[in-house]
Structure 1
Amino acid sequence: MLWAAIFVLSLFILVQASDYFTDAAERLGIFLGFHPFIIGVTIVAIGTSLPELASSIAAVLQQSSEVVLGNVVGSNITNIFLIVGVASAMSRKFKITYHSLKVDLQIFLSSAFLLCLAVGDRDFSAGDAWLSLGGFIIYLLYAVLSHPNTLETSGESSERDAEEDPAEDTANCLKKPDRFPVKSLAIAIVSLIFIWGSAEYTIESVTKISEFLQIGKEVIAISAVAFGTSLPELIVTIVATRKGNPEMAVGNVLGSNIFNCFAVMGVAGAIDNLEIAPVIIAEGLPAMLAGTILFFLTTQNKQFSRWEGLLFFVFYGWFIGELFDFL
């Protein structure tokens, strides 16, 4: 009971600290003049993926590297089936207007395939890790450089972008502050400290709980830890959808999953070789790959309906049921 309470508390602090960091980083992004979709796929996606990154690094340092792949795969599955399902169910039907979505989706699909190929031999070496980090750097450069227009202080964009990108209305709602947000920078730094400390206790509690229940740490990672570390993405999705900007939620899922496959696996694998659990290969990877392909196909018409969102919920329920032998 003690370690269960520590797990819940540390995971709560991890999510809350990441939420504070994301808000602060988003304000910094607005000050720098990034487009809303770019904020979603870079700053917000990285910020909301910090729990996965911090807990994965802590897992490797505590000799529990089998948690890393379980956390990444479980988080990606949760992002696709649960979070996109929530955004679709809340907004009935929404269109994705960002004109560079096609390339983002291809990188999203490629990151999942690269992860599957890299761990297919049940080994994730330092070479695999550096290749993954290279993929993330390429995506980050693409995300920033492919949309060169920035938010002006007046909130006006060029006529060309107004024609190509109807999301300009959202951009107009984000006002660039006159002064550098020093407070936001301080909040971001303090949040990072809490993120790291809580990640340490999260992994330690997972280890203790798995020993008590006599189940693999990777099973807890792909289910409970993955769901908990995906809560920031879920919160961002609900807030963005309520504000009439569900496409930021889609951008967040795209960026977050790419970050998990490339950056989280890359950073953790660069520290030490990762242990690959058979249950993740057998049950987790097929579900993640199926969800990635389904998401790719569903977004080809650049819109989501409520019925598609409800179908995503069914897939998430199936995954959890299969994982714990409920089905």
Structure 2
Amino acid sequence: MLNVLLFVAGLVALVGGAELLVRGASRLALSFGISPLVVGLTIVAFGTSAPEMAVSAGAVLGGQTDLAVGNVVGSNIFNVLFVLGISALIAPLVVHRQVIRQEVPILIGASLLLAVLSLDGRLTLFDGALLLGLLIAYTVFLIVQSRRETRADAAQASAGGAATPSEYDAEFQAPRPGAWDARLPVQLVLILVGLGLLVLGSNWLVTAAVAFATALGVSDVVIGLTIVAAGTSMPEVATSIAAAIKGERDIAVGNAIGSSTFNILGCLGLSGLLAGGAGLIVPQALLAFDIWVMVAVALACLPIFLTGREIARWEGGVFLGYYVAYVGYLILAAQSHAALPAFSNVMMGFVVPLTVVTLVVVLIRRPAGTQAH
């Protein structure tokens, strides 16, 4: 019971810390004239992925490297299958062309890179530096891209074609000159308190997760792939569901995809550096199965997104169904259950091929007019 309370307290601290960090950092950035778009793509993305980074870093410092890697891999699978799945059930999610042409290919590339770097069974100090370097390059790219789009929007506005800002955009509108200067200390306090809660929450969550693994007789990897991954992804769940309810469907999709990219490049990059010369050990179980599930899930986004450039409710149901099947497989495998072979045969011999055939038929039959967005 004590470990359950510790886990819940850690989860609450992580979610609360991420919220305070996002609020404080976004307002602080706006006070220095950084555009709302850049704030959304960088600081907000970092904020929703901060629990994963805190838990992975805390796990490495505590010696539970299996939990660090499993948390990131499990969170990425959770982000796509569960977060997008449940958001699509609320309202069909329109997928912007930029997500298909840029964000998903970047996620696929990052997933494949992680798989390749992990083939030797560890993420070295160089691998961690490479991943973090790519994150910095990606962030700079987003800033340059947003400046171009800002200039284009300004030109459109001057021509009388300004668009009405959305509710989400209005939340991050730049303040009047000097309006935020007096509140800078408040924003700094929010950032410091948010970071403190993230550190504290990650320690509680890791401690409870290790106790769960010991009590249930399963590995740290399985706990990281399931309980910890779902727990640290709560900010993504809350953000995407709220965006779907408000009709901000691009945000719901972009949040899940962008956070997954940040998890690989940022969380594992930092964890690899913290592991030092010994490197970050990648468990054999992850190499044999879960990392490739993560890659397959990222690849699965393209055909589903291309079926009319939206995630329909039935496709959201497919995503959720696959996540339930994935967790079921992990539980059966951890217990060496006798039903595992039959379960695997049904999934690989019937369910997966049927899903692929259905997607191909829908993609072929989709009228050309529905492809424009």
- CA–CA distance in structure 1, aligned partners of residues 29 and 297 of structure 2: 30
Distance 1:151 1:264, change over 3 A: same
Distance 1:172 1:223, change over 3 A: closer
- Larger displacement relative to structure 2 (67-76 or 250-259): 250-259
- Larger displacement relative to structure 2 (107-116 or 26-35): 26-35
Contact map agreement 2:87 2:93 (CA 8 A) in 1 = no
Contact map agreement 1:157 1:168 (CA 8 A) in 2 = no
Aligned residue for 1:176?
Answer: 174
- CA–CA distance in structure 1, aligned partners of residues 77 and 157 of structure 2: 33
The AA in structure 2 aligned to 1:133 is L
The AA in structure 2 aligned to 1:108 is L
Aligned residue for 1:136?
Answer: 135
Measured after TM superposition, the shift of residue 150 of structure 1 is 7.6
The AA in structure 2 aligned to 1:34 is S
Aligned residue for 1:199?
Answer: 202
Measured after TM superposition, the shift of residue 247 of structure 1 is 0.7
Aligned residue for 1:56?
Answer: 56
Contact map agreement 2:20 2:191 (CA 8 A) in 1 = yes
Measured after TM superposition, the shift of residue 151 of structure 1 is 7.0
Residues 113-192 of structure 1: pairs in structure 2 closer than 5 A: 113-148=112-147, 157-160=153-156, 169-170=165-166, 173-174=170-171, 175-178=173-176, 179-180=179-180, 181-182=183-184, 183-192=186-195
Contact map agreement 2:93 2:244 (CA 8 A) in 1 = no
Distance 1:79 1:161, change over 3 A: farther
Aligned residue for 2:5?
Answer: 5
Q: Which whole-Å deviations, capped at 9, do the CAs of 1:149-176 have from their partners, x for residues lacking one?
A: 5879xxx93244899x998632763432
> TM-score, with normalisation over the residues of structure 2?
0.79
Residues 243-262 of structure 1: pairs in structure 2 closer than 5 A: 243-262=246-265
Contact map agreement 1:79 1:257 (CA 8 A) in 2 = yes
Gaps of 5+ in 2: 333-339, 344-373
Aligned residue for 2:353?
Answer: none
> Which of 299, 323, 331 does residue 293 from structure 1 map onto?
299
Contact map agreement 1:6 1:201 (CA 8 A) in 2 = yes
Contact map agreement 2:92 2:310 (CA 8 A) in 1 = no
Aligned residue for 2:311?
Answer: 304
Q: Which whole-Å deviations, capped at 9, do the CAs of 1:183-238 have from their partners, x for residues lacking one?
A: 33321221111110121121122222222222111110110000000000000111
Q: Which whole-Å deviations, capped at 9, do the CAs of 1:44-77 have from their partners, x for residues lacking one?
A: 1110111111111111111111111100000000
The structure whose Rg is larger is 2
Measured after TM superposition, the shift of residue 282 of structure 1 is 2.5
Contact map agreement 1:79 1:233 (CA 8 A) in 2 = yes
Residues 309-324 of structure 1: pairs in structure 2 closer than 5 A: 309-324=316-331
Q: Which whole-Å deviations, capped at 9, do the CAs of 1:126-155 have from their partners, x for residues lacking one?
A: 111111111111111111111205879xxx
Residues 99-118 of structure 1: pairs in structure 2 closer than 5 A: 99=98, 102-118=101-117
Q: Structure 1 residue 280 and structure 2 residue 277: aligned?
A: no
- CA–CA distance in structure 1, aligned partners of residues 204 and 243 of structure 2: 30
Query: How many correspondences in the alignment?
Result: 321
Q: Structure 1 residue 80 and structure 2 residue 80: aligned?
A: yes
Distance 1:166 1:204, change over 3 A: farther
Q: Which whole-Å deviations, capped at 9, do the CAs of 1:264-317 have from their partners, x for residues lacking one?
A: 111001111112112222231122111100113323453222221111111111
Gaps of 5+ in 1: none
